[in-house]
Amino acid sequence: MRRRLAGILGVVVVGCAVLVSGCEKSPGPEATKSTAEAAPVKVGAIFAVTGGASFLGAPEKQTAEMFVEKVNTAGGINGHKIELLVRDSGGVPEKAISLAKQLIDEDKVLAIIGPSTSGETMAIKDICQEGRTILLSCAAAEEIVEPIASFVFKTPQKDSDAARRIFETMKDLGISKVGVVTSNDGFGIAGGQQLAKLAPEYGITIAISETYDKQATDLTDVLTKVKSENVQAVVNWSIVPAQSLVAKNMKQIGLDVPLFQSHGFGNIKYVEQGGEAANGTIFPCGRLLVADVLPDSNPQKKLLVQYKNDYETRYHEAASTFGGHAYDALLLLTDAIQKANSVDVAKVRDALEGLQGVVGTGGIFNLSATDHNGLAKDAFEVLTVKDGKFAVYQK
């Protein structure tokens, strides 16, 4: 009897403790948000800083740190300094999940920037939605914002628009039969689907579509198969180092047709790795890579040149469009906070949906309740590689 009483008492004590701590937790962040005007805003960031997708994550992290430092030295947004919590997911969706939970439940961030890859973003889409935390993804896949989740946004241009620009260029060149190769990760799979879906619209036949391992070190076998179909062009859709391999291997097996790549090719490092084989590659991309040669009338030029110079002086490496996605994510977030004049998550979210004509690195953002990306097809410029450098494509 006595033991039972002690047991009941124990349960009651524990119950109270849970209740108290629970009570403490729920109003906590709200209270700090509304009362202390100048309290720092916590913003989480999940980037694939290391691992196979480090091409994306590393420049994103550096850009985010640079952006936040600039905002904070200028006195913050409406007096709020930003506290950036960067986490490295290594490009692994499972890791992204636990990092997102940590940022939402423990750090109680207002928003999460990233993740870098589509696979990771899809893995945490629901977690952010349920946790009522704004997610500004730096990954490209369309499914991130389709169907719309009220708290989920993305800054890179749409996959489908990239596919459209590729097909438009092909049509222009009189190409009608193509081979498609994609990597077996979120980006590659989503891209492959978009290409298959849109090809009939442009009267283009995909004669063969193959998937390769994202860690592949040689693709001559897959490309030999593509060659056997007598295609007029090859499209490679991936973000991994294999992008340089495709270019090299095509030349090595004598597959002398134009190579189209996705916007994942927008990093000069891939061109360097591809050597002279990379020359002539055609791909849709944001205007950052050709910022210097844009006409002065282009509304993005000033921002692009400044971002590029800032990044390159600070980190001594070439700026890439991927870093730009993180720039845009933070730009949209800070603009929304300014517009909402609040750091309340619901108000900032509403403000995000109302942003119009924001000039970013990826294009001009016009967000709405039905469009959580806000970029149009013309955000892409068709680029090519000339003598180891990016240039605007001309027929």
Partner 1 sequence: MDFALIVQYALSGITVGSVYAIVAIGFNIIYCTTGIINFAQGEFLVVGAMTAISLTQVVPLPVAILGAVLITTVLGGLVELVFIRQVRNASVLRLVVITIGLSILIREAVLHIWDEKPWSLPYFTGTAVSTVSILGAHISLQVLWVLGVSAVIVTALTLFLRYTTTGQAMRACADDRMAARLCGVNDRWMVTLSFMLSAGIGALAGCVISPITQTQYDMGAPLAIKGFTVAILGGLGNSMAAVAAGLFLGLLEAFVVSVLPACYKEVVAIVVLLSILVLRPSGLFARRETSALRTA
Minimum distance from residue 314 beta carbon to partner 1 (Å) = 16
Minimum distance from residue 224 beta carbon to partner 1 (Å) = 5
Q: Does 228 bind partner 1 (CB under 8 A)?
A: yes
Of the pair 145, 278, the CB lying nearest partner 1 is at 278
Minimum distance from residue 368 beta carbon to partner 1 (Å) = 37
Of the pair 65, 353, the CB lying nearest partner 1 is at 65
Selected range binding partner 1 among 46-54, 107-115, 143-151, 382-390, rule: CB under 8 A: 46-54
> Position of tokens 């991309």?
285
Contact assessment for residue 132 and residue 345, using Cβ atoms and an 8 Å cutoff: yes
Minimum distance from residue 248 beta carbon to partner 1 (Å) = 5
Of the pair 194, 244, the CB lying nearest partner 1 is at 244
Helix (H, G, I), strand (E, B) or coil at 248: helix
Minimum distance from residue 256 beta carbon to partner 1 (Å) = 10
Radius of gyration of the chain (CA): 23
Of the candidates 343, 352, 290, the residue with the CA atom closest to the CA atom of residue 83: 343
Minimum distance from residue 321 beta carbon to partner 1 (Å) = 16
Q: Does 224 bind partner 1 (CB under 8 A)?
A: yes
Q: Does 61 bind partner 1 (CB under 8 A)?
A: no
Q: Does 339 bind partner 1 (CB under 8 A)?
A: no
Convert residues 193-212 into a mask of x (bound to partner 1 by CB under 8 A) and - (unbound): -----------------xxx
3 state SS for 277-304: HHCCCEEEECHHHHHHHCCCCCCCHHHH
Selected range binding partner 1 among 19-27, 128-136, 166-174, 247-255, rule: CB under 8 A: 247-255
Give the number of residues in contact with partner 1, rule: CB under 8 A: 36
Minimum distance from residue 178 beta carbon to partner 1 (Å) = 17
Contact assessment for residue 111 and residue 136, using Cβ atoms and an 8 Å cutoff: yes
| From candidates 51, 143, 148, 206, binder to partner 1 by CB under 8 A | 51
Minimum distance from residue 325 beta carbon to partner 1 (Å) = 18
Of the candidates 375, 323, 379, 376, the residue with the CA atom closest to the CA atom of residue 153: 375
| From candidates 43, 47, 52, 111, binder to partner 1 by CB under 8 A | 52
Convert residues 262-301 into a mask of x (bound to partner 1 by CB under 8 A) and - (unbound): -------x---xxxxx------------------------
Neighbouring residues of 63: CB distance < 8 A, sequence distance ≥ 6 = 307, 311, 323, 324, 326, 327
Q: Please name the amino acid found at residue 390.
A: F
Q: Does 244 bind partner 1 (CB under 8 A)?
A: yes
Give the Cα separation of 343 and 295 in Å (integer). 38
Give the Cα separation of 13 and 373 in Å (integer). 49
Could you give the residue ranges of the DSSP H alpha helices within 82-214?
Answer: 93-101, 118-130, 159-173, 186-198
| From candidates 30, 126, 201, 218, binder to partner 1 by CB under 8 A | 218
13 exposure class (CB count in 10 Å sphere: 0-12, 13-18, 19+): exposed
Q: Which residues of 288-327 are buried (b: 16+ CB within 10 A; e: fewer)?
A: bbbbeebeeeeebbebbeebbebbeeebeebbbbbbbbbb
Give the Cα separation of 171 and 360 in Å (integer). 30
Of the pair 72, 252, the CB lying nearest partner 1 is at 252
Q: Which residues are near partner 1 by CB under 8 A?
A: 49-52, 54-55, 58, 184, 210-213, 215, 217-218, 220-222, 224-225, 227-228, 241, 244-245, 248, 251-254, 269, 273-277
